[in-house]
Structure 1
Amino acid sequence: MQADLSFCIFIILLSNEIIAGMETKDIRRQNLRALINEHTLNNLSRAAFAEKVGITASQLSQVASPKFVRNIGDVLARRVESAFGLPAGWMDNIHTDADSKPGKTESANNYNLQNLSGNYTDHTYRLEQLDVEISCGGGRMNSDYPEVIQSIEIDPEYAKRMFGGRPASSLKITTAVGDSMKGSVEPGELVVLDVTVGRFVSDGIYAFTYGDTVHIKRLQRLKDRLIVISDNQTYEKWEISSDDESQLHIQGFVVGKWEMNYTRLG
């Protein structure tokens, strides 16, 4: 009996250690699969599930199947939460309480959320990737380019000085593509975004979507319009009028960059 009890305690401790070590991408996939299972039990097909989220059945398979080929990024995670009436951040957290089963969507108070950011703050400062490839040029959403750098872990004290005290949860990294911001942001560099900035607050460099395209550009307010500026003088300025600002969705404010350069020596 004592041996059985010791074994059970060992299994519980091991399970908790595994859960604590899970990355956000794995937690999101686990939660998405739980949602899919819950709704297929209620006679909602996977195709109908995908349609409700606003993606194709093929895209759902790419992120949720046992042989998944893509991770679930911020945009898709927030879409899922919105589609099924879940509180913001539900997809990013582990749910172990009975009240946190995905079928209970009546109220955000039904969810006992375990914020994973606490797993990192004592020992490291982790920046994860935004699921949008940002273009210093035309721009595209959810690119097929491989995600070479998915996260960066930094010493907390160094991060505090580097990012002015911003918490890791407010920052994301993404890769810049194109040369329109050459001089400030080079093609292929990792850009650090403060994703808590969701609107124009002052002149500076922003990551934003406009219509169907995604950009990193300098934005400057001039009376009732925004001037979109490329630091590479080859590119012309363009404007977003007050009438067109509904098409502008700011992904974040650019607070810095990482100059990434790998040289193979062997």
Structure 2
Amino acid sequence: MRMKTFAERLNKALRASDMSQAQLASRVGVSQPAIWRLASGQTSTSRRLVEIANALNVSPEWLMHGEEILNTERPSSIEVKNTDDNSYHIESLDIQTNSDIDVTASTGLSETIKGIIYTTEQANALFGNRSSKVVKIITVLSDSMSPSIESGDLIFIDISVNYFDGDGVYIFALDGQLYVKRLQSMYKKLAIISDNKKYETWYLDEEEFSYVKIIAKVLLRLSSDHQRFA
């Protein structure tokens, strides 16, 4: 019988793997209450989806959507079909309802735009074969990344990249504060760079970087520089 909800599938996979919620939380690096919220249906997804699926020996597709049987063949990325064959819906990133992140300050980002719809052809040109489930948008309200990203710009991000995936621009949390910065790997340290030269570059050593929670990698921006005609 097909499990209808994420919580049902998660609990089935936990039973099949003979794993407790605490053990799963430890394996994927989240708190036990975060797993409890998923298993009880209080939250319906996690940014650690791929890690949770790997730990439970199931595919991310099955865990998220129930579209595959429980098995050990796990694809490298999440592929989800849109209900409308010619539309690609991108939703705003919602930090406040994320069960894995405790952010107390997020003044640099805003959910100004609730969503954007592209045709699949446009989306493929912009995002390649990424599923709409992993592409999100959010508005940047800081000038720290100017001129690469101006205050008021929309950025498109990939929430499946919740780890350091090489040099690039990321959204990450540290000590309850949310940042959009360029991360650059250096010998035994990580540079956190603001493209705006008015802001200083700072560095984290290997131990300090373990406290960084990467939320997503920035893919591209949509400029807020509008030309008014009326």
TM-score bucket of the superposed structures, by smaller chain: 0.5 to 0.7
TM-score, normalised to structure 1's length? Answer: 0.54
Give the aligned length. Answer: 169
Question: CA offsets, 1:133-170, max 9 Å, x none?
Answer: 9xxxxx96466x97431010001011101112212112
- For structure 1, the 5+ residue unaligned runs are 1-26, 32-77, 93-107, 134-138
**Contact between 2:110 and 2:141, CA under 8 Å: does it hold in 1?**
no
* CA drift at 1:132: 3.1
What does the per-residue CA deviation read over 1:169-190, in whole Å, with 9 as the maximum and x for residues that have no partner?
1211111121110110001111
Give identity over the alignment, percent: 28
Give yes or no for the alignment of 1:252 onto 2:205: no
User: Structure 1 residues 167 and 85, CA, compared in 2 at 3 Å: closer, same or farther?
Assistant: closer
Residue aligning to 1:123: 86
Counterpart selection for 1:222 from 163, 186, 190: 186
What is the distance in 1 between the residues matched to 2:162 and 2:226?
33
Name the structure with the higher helix share.
1
Pick aligned residue for 1:237 from 182, 198, 201: 201
Q: Aligned partners of 1:263, 1:199: CA distance in 2, in Å?
A: 37
Letter in 2 for 1:83: W
Question: Aligned Cα RMSD in Å?
Answer: 3.7
TM-score, scaled relative to structure 2:
0.61
CA distance in 1, matches of 2:64, 2:164: 33
Q: Name the larger-Rg structure.
A: 1
Q: How far off is 1:238 after superposition?
A: 0.2
CA spacing shift, 1:132–1:168, aligned 2, 3 Å: same
Q: Name the residue aligned to 2:15.
A: none
For residues 33 and 117 of structure 2, the distance between their equivalents in structure 1, rounded to whole angstroms, comes to 27
Q: CA deviation at 1:250?
A: 0.6
Q: Does the 8 Å CA contact 1:206/1:219 hold for their aligned counterparts?
A: yes
1:80-95 counterparts in 2 under 5 A?
82-86=35-39, 91=44
Displacement of 1:223? 1.2
Q: The residue matched to 2:221 in structure 1 has which SS? A: strand
In structure 2, relative to structure 1, the CA distance for the partners of 1:79 and 1:193 (3 Å cut) is: farther
Mark the runs of 5 or more structure 2 residues left unpaired by the alignment: 8-30, 46-57, 68-79, 97-102
Question: Which residue identity does 2:92 align to in structure 1?
Answer: Q
Give the distance between the partners of 1:112 and 1:220, measured in 2 at CA: 32
- Per-residue CA deviation, residues 213-262 of structure 1 (Å, 9 max, x unaligned), is 11111100011111001100011100111111221011111110111355
